[in-house]
Amino acid sequence: MFETILLGTDGSETAATALDTAIAIARQNRSTLHVVNAYRSSSGSGPVVLVGAQVPLDDALEHAVGAEASERLLAKVAETASSAGVECETHSVNAAPGDAVIDLATELAADLIIVGNKGMDRRVFGSVPNSIAHKAPCDLLVVKTT
Over residues 9-60, the pLDDT tens digits come to 998 888 999 999 999 999 999 999 999 999 887 544 443 333 433 444 444 4
How wide is the angle at C-alpha 75 spanned by C-alphas 42 and 100, nearest 5°? 45
Domains, the chain, ranges and CATH?
4-143 (3.40.50.620)
Contact between residue 35 and residue 81 where contact means Cβ atoms under 8 Å apart? yes
User: 95 in helix, strand or coil?
Assistant: coil
For 121, the enclosing helix (H) or strand (E) is none
Distance CA 88, CA 118 (A): 23
Contact between residue 104 and residue 93 where contact means Cβ atoms under 8 Å apart? yes
Give the residue ranges of DSSP H helices in the chain: 13-29, 57-83, 97-108, 128-135
Q: In terms of pLDDT, which residue wins out, 51 or 2?
A: 2
DSSP 31: P
pTM for the whole structure: 0.81
